[in-house]
Amino acid sequence: MLPKPPPRESGLGFLLIPPFRVQGTSVAGEQTCVMVPELDICFDMGNCPRASLASKFLAISHGHMDHIGGLAYWCSQRNFQGMGPGTIVCSTAIAPAIETMLKGYRDLEGQKMPYELIALDPEQSIEIKNNTHLRIFDLEHTSPASGYCIVEKRSKLREDLVGLPQEKLRELKDRGEQITRTLEVPLVSYLSDTAPGASMLREDVRKSQIVIAECTFVEPDHGDRARIGKHLHLSHIIEWLPVLQCQKLVLIHLSRRSNIAQARKQLRQAVKPELAEKVEFLMDFRANRARYEQQVAEAEKLEHARAT
């Protein structure tokens, strides 16, 4: 099967990391909105790209305008387009302020703007798809902030029962014994604005197939800015990479002045090639376009080989 194409909407970054697409827009201080269509989820709503309307779930990281400015519009547009109420997920720390903001819009518009809001305490989770859960955890930033991890829960036969005949297993089950165990497979983690810290070393984050993380500053002399704004600097990413088990680390939230080519160069100088190759930049349009075209060409070759 050929890979699904990028959204037609202009200005959106796009990466295909099978079986997921990661797409959206993210510039520090301006807007961040990152979607994973296969999981029906969008992280943050700095503006409201058209493609984001399709997400049923919206996980908000924190209340800074570049992450929340498009929230009311998203709720309203989903309703206007007849898509049903969206589900906003956020921490209990910011839920009351979100309710107040949305109430303000309802009063201004004089009409209902349906949405569902789910407020979670740190480490709580909700099911967003069959056996797929969205977990929230704390980040450290200049305002209360949260990260997220999407985990798939797979049911596996208990290790000590592997190899037993079916009838024996049925017998145990009929006796009321738990014959399966739940295996947690972390799929996607999202670390938006944050200072470096414990969240980066969490097991679910380290083991995620895809990690999406902020990297606001790149220039070597911008370390102080990162520290004051409680953001990640490329130097933190370089330290972090060796402990990450992900297939891809997708960097977002670079400041407009940061140079992606420069960032790639610094990465290549600082870490082993196989680690540098794990890193992608959501907003590197040219490199991502070339990467996608190559993925399509490879898929076409495979299809052709299968057909002949």
Interface residues with Zn ion (CB under 5 A) are 64, 66, 193
Nearer to Zn ion, 25 or 125 (CB): 25
CB of 95 to Zn ion, least distance (A): 17
Nearer to Zn ion, 64 or 135 (CB): 64
DSSP string, the chain: -PPPPPPSSTT-EEEEETTEEEEEEEETTTEEEEEEGGGTEEE--SS--GGGGG-SEEE-----HHHHTTHHHHHHHHHHTT---EEEEEETTTHHHHHHHHHHHHHHHTS---EEEEEE-TT-EEEEETTEEEEEEEE-SSS-EEEEEEEEEEEEE-GGGTT--HHHHHHHHHTT---EEEEEEEEEEEE-S--SSGGGG-HHHHT-SEEEEE--B-SGGGHHHHHHHT--BHHHHHHHGGG---SEEEEE---TT--HHHHHHHHHHHS-HHHHTTEEETT-HHHHHHHHHHHHHHHHHHHHHHH-
Nearer to Zn ion, 44 or 186 (CB): 44
Nearer to Zn ion, 215 or 246 (CB): 215
CB of 156 to Zn ion, least distance (A): 39
CB of 45 to Zn ion, least distance (A): 12
CB of 182 to Zn ion, least distance (A): 34
CB of 60 to Zn ion, least distance (A): 12
Nearer to Zn ion, 193 or 284 (CB): 193
